[in-house]
Amino acid sequence: MAKNHRKESKKISIQMNRSERILPSSIEVEKAILSILISFPDSVLEIADSLTPEMFYKDANSIIYRAILELVDKSQVINALSIVETLRKNQELEKAGGFAYIAEIADISSSPADLIYYVNLLKEKTILRELISVSSSIIDKSYEPGTQIDTLIDWAEEQIFRIRIKKEKIEKTTEAKFTDVLKKFEEISRSGRYLTGIPSGFIKLDEITMGFQPGELTIVASRPSVGKTSFVLNIAENVALGVQGNGRINPEEAKPILIFSLEMPEEQIVSRLLCTNAKVERDKIIKGRLSQQEWKLLTNSAEKLGKSQIFIDDSGSLNTLEMKAKARRFKSRYGIKLIIVDYLQLVNSHIETNNRYEQITYVSQALKAMAKELNVPVIACSQLARYVERRDDRKPQLSDLKESGSIEQDADLVLMIYRKNMYLTEEEIDPKNMNLAEIIIAKNRNGPLGTVKLNFFKEFTYFSDRFDIYDHEDI
């Protein structure tokens, strides 16, 4: 009993200490910022897009800053008198400390050169208060009866991650943002590089898509055994090694990636990556028929891929909350630049419904939300509906996406793999097109549609550029 009493007393003491502490703030910094804005009105535009009234801890300072923004919005002069008149009209002059307090702020001697420094200090205090607020909410929610652990952990991680991104983000003025984009365009023009996203490693595909864009969802779809897993693993290898197309490797372009494999175990994924990179048939390994040269190729590939940052999660039945939480941690810890999900229909929706359409819709929306939150491209494999097999040519269309129109709606880019030779007899196959595979760009939110023709070597599960044939047409 005495032990329990001591524990209870300790809890009460901690709660009292927490409530008695003064939240992080700097009233002097707040006043210095307002003083600069009053004395040098043009400087308001320098910080107006990144500094909000809520960032001021003292209510009076927040009210004064809101009045300054109102004057800017109306293109009116900014000085102590105009601020007083605005506050009087809004019936907030007393809340803002009255004329005497505003005059006191206006008399502070501050240099506009210090404005950004002061604003950054204010943001740090704001972030600390947000951390305290989120931590308190986590504690409160943990005491609530019936709390779902997974839901709470996901919520807590999302809140902390949001604050972390805010801390890491470099705030820029509107002018600087446009200047940075212009510099990016100049760099592309000067270097001849047309990519604005993560390159797939396939030259013709990247010419149309300009790479996989951060925050966007790409769907790679096909019927079973056509090669969608092989295709996304080829992309994974290319990104992780810095392949720029046609086998050219630039190690400086290598990027860390994360693969969620819901169908294959990690060992099988690694095995396929090794064989693809080495151009060695997996059947030979299984049957123990490797030559000395092939062993050497595999050893070299293992060394090369072992230095890359390819992270694989083969947890079987992941739901959307668990996947997002893991992706968030990998992004924070390793700076993941690309996420691959194989495949969409195997992800659990984390909602209680027997309606398959609703489940797939939820998963599709969750993957798009994950791409936006983490600001990385997400590539998800998807099955196509069975009725594609009923067409004479079996060429897939957007309407063939299985079980939910939401996949098409949420996706920014839809790539469909088509291998006509799968449906032909040996006599019907043109020897020149023996390894032909078509990547149909069926949806491209930011660019044209088209068809890219690649080579596919089934024995190596390997796609490669094909430079002799290239179609670019509306589909």
What are the structural domain ranges in the chain? 27-163, 195-465
Q: What share of the chain is helix, strand, coil (3-state, %, to 5)?
A: 55, 15, 30
230-239 pLDDT tens trace = 999 999 999 9
CATH: 3.40.50.720, 3.40.50.2300, 3.90.1150.10, 3.40.50.300. Which one for 195-465? 3.40.50.300
Kindly write down the DSSP assignment for every residue of 357-393, as one continuous string. Answer: HHHHHHHHHHHHHHHHHHTS-EEEEEEBPGGGGGSSS
Contact (Cβ atoms closer than 8 angstroms) between residue 68 and residue 75: no
Q: What secondary structure letter does DSSP report for 445?
A: T
Specify the pTM.
0.63
Could you tell me the CA-to-CA distances from 48 to 33, 58, 68, 119 in Å, in that order?
12, 18, 10, 11
Q: Please name the amino acid found at residue 225.
A: S
Q: Report pLDDT digits (tens) over 248-306.
A: 778 788 899 999 988 888 888 888 888 888 888 877 777 667 788 888 888 888 888 88
CATH superfamily assigned to domain 27-163: DNAb Helicase; Chain A (1.10.860.10)
Q: Is 236 exposed, middle or buried (0-12, 13-18, 19+ CB in 10 A)?
A: buried
Owner of token pair 């001591």: 6
pLDDT class for 6, splitting at 50, 70, 90? very low
pLDDT category at 246 given cuts 50, 70, 90 is low
How confident is the model at residue 179, as a pLDDT?
59
Domains 27-163 and 195-465 share a fold: no
Q: What confidence score (pLDDT) does residue 264 get? A: 86
C-alpha span between 63 and 70 (Å, rounded): 11
pLDDT score of 283: 75
Mind listing the pLDDT tens digit for each residue in 420-456?
Answer: 887 777 777 777 888 888 999 999 988 899 899 998 8
Structure tokens given for 273: 């990556």
List Cα–Cα distances, 161 to 60, 133, 154, 283, 373, in angstroms: 31, 14, 10, 44, 9
pLDDT category, 377, cuts 50, 70, 90?
Answer: very high
Q: Which residues are catalytic?
A: 263
Q: Determine the Cα–Cα distance for residues 472 and 450; give it in Å rounded to an integer.
A: 5
Each residue's pLDDT tens digit, 63-93 = 999 999 888 877 788 899 999 999 999 999 9
| 413 pLDDT higher than 90 | yes
Measured distance CA(50)–CA(32) in Å, rounded: 17
**Dist. CA 221–CA 345, nearest whole Å:** 11
The whole-number pLDDT of residue 454 equals 92
Report the pLDDT averaged over residues 37-59: 85
Give CA–CA dist 270/375, Å, rounded.
26
Structure tokens at 211: 């790479």
pLDDT at 184: 54
